[in-house]
Amino acid sequence: MAGADKRKGRPWGAIRPANPAAGKLAAFLRAQVEGSGKTLAVLEKEINYSTTQISSLLSGRIPSQPFVTALIGATVPAQMRERRQSEADGLLYDAMHPPRTAPARGLTSEATAGARAGVVDVAAAQAQQIETYDRLTRALEQQAELRQAADNSARLIWILLSMIHNLTGRVTTLTRERDDATGREVVEAAQAKLARAQSQQAKAESELTRAEEKKQQAEDLSARLQEQIDTLTEELDRLRGQGTAPHERLPDLAHLAPGEETSADPEADDIDAVLERVSAVNDTDDDTVNRITTELGEPSPAFVPDNPPTSADIPNKTAEQLRAEATAARERDDFQEASRLYGLLATASAGFLGPDHRDTLNARAWQASCTAKSGETGIARDLFADLVSDRTRVLGPDHSLTLTSRYQHAYYVGEAGDPGAARDLMAAVASDRTRVLGADHPNTLSSRNQHAYFVGEASDPETARDLFADLVTDRGRVLGPDHPRTLMSRYQHAYYVGEAGDPDTARDLMAAVTSDESRVLGPDHPDTLMSRHLYAYYVGKAGDPETARDLFADLVSARNRVLGPDHFDTLMSRYQHADYVGEAGDPDAARDLMAAVASDGIRVLGPDHPDTLTSRYQHAYYVGEAGDPDTARDLMAAVASDESRILGPDHPQTRITRSWLDQGETASD
């Protein structure tokens, strides 16, 4: 199509050369640009000269050697580059060394010599003026770019502060919707929306930090340039007193149009699109500040560049690529991969932003969290311990992120097998959150919940019972009686009432929790099913194994339908059903049911899992109760050997198994 290859953008202006050779050079360089098909905007990125500067230098001003070399390199094909560079160098030499004007006839030799000296002086003055013009023009252009970058950052800061405020509210709303959701699919959908909002909030906070840093860097560089501009202006005034000005005037600097304003209301726009635009503006300003910093001879600013080295054994990736890949892995529940990627991101961020930068600390927090979710609770505990130390030092002990890291550290100390230490750590977190956030803040209430839980896990069910009783009252007052977290605290309270030795009261409390959760959350909600499990358990503990048997039979059917036959909770309900079948007087059926549970436990959980060992113990027990003591003894001996190997010879479960064997031997004697 005719005209399809025409270069877009504004047309060239007239060439107003400093001398004839400069005009030839400008025409030659313009021809190379035209032949390349590249716009000035494209060349700006490739040769690190602004469009205004390129246009000015191609209008007849005498350019520098680096500019000519860079332009030839960007516009001429490799096979022609050496030839065109040689031609351009010749034209540049001619432009910088114009022929001297012949003296007029009739002048004496002294007059001729004086005239020649005057020509040399004028040429030297003009050359100095041209050089000063170039430097002053470049300084003004750089300052204009930096001021625009600072203005962009200021707008981004305002936008991001508003966005973060709105996202905080959005996360709160989505958390409530997730907690109030009923039905497995609805809960999963609500959780996915919440995870996306939390990821967007983290990215917005990261971009805010970048914008704040960029604004400060741009303002600092602009102030330094102002000193250069003042000095160059004085120098130019001095030179103007020594000779005539060059033919061109100092070009007017076109005002850089501000970037498109993005709505500050993320609820009304696509949040991801806004964040993408914010990130793009930040990236552009990064390039501007980096380039001008390099041109001024400043050390590079400390932030992750476009292509940071990530690892010696993987291809280099940008920080944004690592962050996006880690987030995607986390959202698809590939926590092992997410942990690895967040670790790489934390390492890259520490190298370029510094170990104490917020982005570095945030990446470490995500790494620790994903490590825990991948099953490595001991490693997660240690990662959070280090993070607590650094966030306390950098942010202060009362900062919300420090308190969050302390909460997570305490939690995973308990999950890693030390409930006593977790209890003490969580008590301190609950106390500090009460002081900093207030007694009724949701995070304070969550800390109290976990503290009470670890008190119970540390073998003090009576104190746990009382702590949960107080928490039920406070959560009911703050959140309402039907809030999922209030219901969860009621569940925990009922459980520890039973563990403290009152199964009858625990049964009645759990019956009420089950009824309310079925009404509020739905009969198939995981929390409702868990409460039904505990209710059936305490029915049996309160002396009614037949009813417990029937309740567990119904629960096994429900969990098998909702969760699947191999789900851990389904296996636990099958175990309890088999046990209460035996308690209700049918050891033969209990033996067969428990054999199936033990077999599936070996397949699903593994042969060394503690719950698999418990199922094998109960199977051996009911084999004996069904009238086959010899087989029962052989099965129990195998269980005792495995428990001693896996749990240790002094573990309570190992001692119980050994006691059963000892009693059997005594009875046979």
pLDDT above 60: residue 488? yes
What percentage of the chain carries pLDDT values higher than 70? Answer: 80
* pLDDT, mean of residues 348-369: 91
Which burial class, exposed, middle or buried, applies to 261 when counting CB atoms under 10 A from its CB (0-12, 13-18, 19+)?
Answer: exposed
**Are 403 and 432 spatial neighbours (Cβ–Cβ below 8 Å)?**
yes
pLDDT confidence tier of residue 27, bands split at 50, 70 and 90: confident
User: Pick from 192, 206, 204: which is nearest to 168 by CA?
Assistant: 204
**Token pair listed for 224:** 């330094």
pLDDT of residue 597: 97
| 509-519 average pLDDT score | 97
Indicate left, alpha or beta for 438 from its phi (over 0: left) and psi (-120 to 50: alpha). Answer: left
State the helix-helix crossing angle for 184-240 and 319-331, rounded to 10 degrees: 170
Dump pLDDT digits (tens) for 145-161: 788 888 788 878 878 88
- Whether the model pTM is above 0.85: no
Cα–Cα separations (whole angstroms), residue 405 to 207, 213, 331, 391, 451: 22, 25, 21, 8, 15
Average of per-residue pLDDT across 39-47: 85
pLDDT on residue 451:
98
Q: Give mean pLDDT, residues 428-457.
A: 95
What pLDDT score does 247 carry?
Answer: 34
pLDDT on residue 254:
30
DSSP class of 249: P
Percent of the chain with pLDDT strictly greater than 90: 49
Q: Determine the pLDDT at residue 243.
A: 42
Sequence ranges of the domains in the chain: 20-97+120-245+264-295, 544-669
Q: What's the one-letter identity of residue 180?
A: D
Query: What is the C-alpha to C-alpha distance for residues 20 and 17, in angstroms, rounded to an integer?
Result: 6
Position 396 scores a pLDDT of 93
Q: List b or e across 41-72, with b for residues whose CB sees 16 or more CB atoms inside 10 angstroms.
A: eebbeebbbbbbbbbbbbbbbbbbeebbbbbb
What band does 310 get if pLDDT is binned at 50, 70 and 90? very low
Note the residue count of the chain: 669
Q: How many CA atoms lie within 13 A of 523 on its CB side?
A: 5
Q: pLDDT by residue (tens digit) across 407-418?
A: 999 999 999 999
Collect all residues with Cβ–Cβ distance below 8 Å to 1 and sequence separation of at least 6: none
DSSP assignments along 624-669, one per residue: HHTT-HHHHHHHHHHHHHHHHHHT-TTSHHHHHHHHHHHHHHHHH-
Which carries the bigger pLDDT value, residue 653 or residue 304? 653
Angstrom distance (rounded) from CA 467 to CA 26: 84
| Cβ 123 vs Cβ 230: under 8 Å | no
544-669, CATH topology level: 1.25.40
Q: Using the predicted structure, report yes or no on whether residue 306 has a pLDDT greater than 60.
A: no
Q: Give alpha helix (H) positions in 316-376.
A: 319-331, 335-352, 358-373
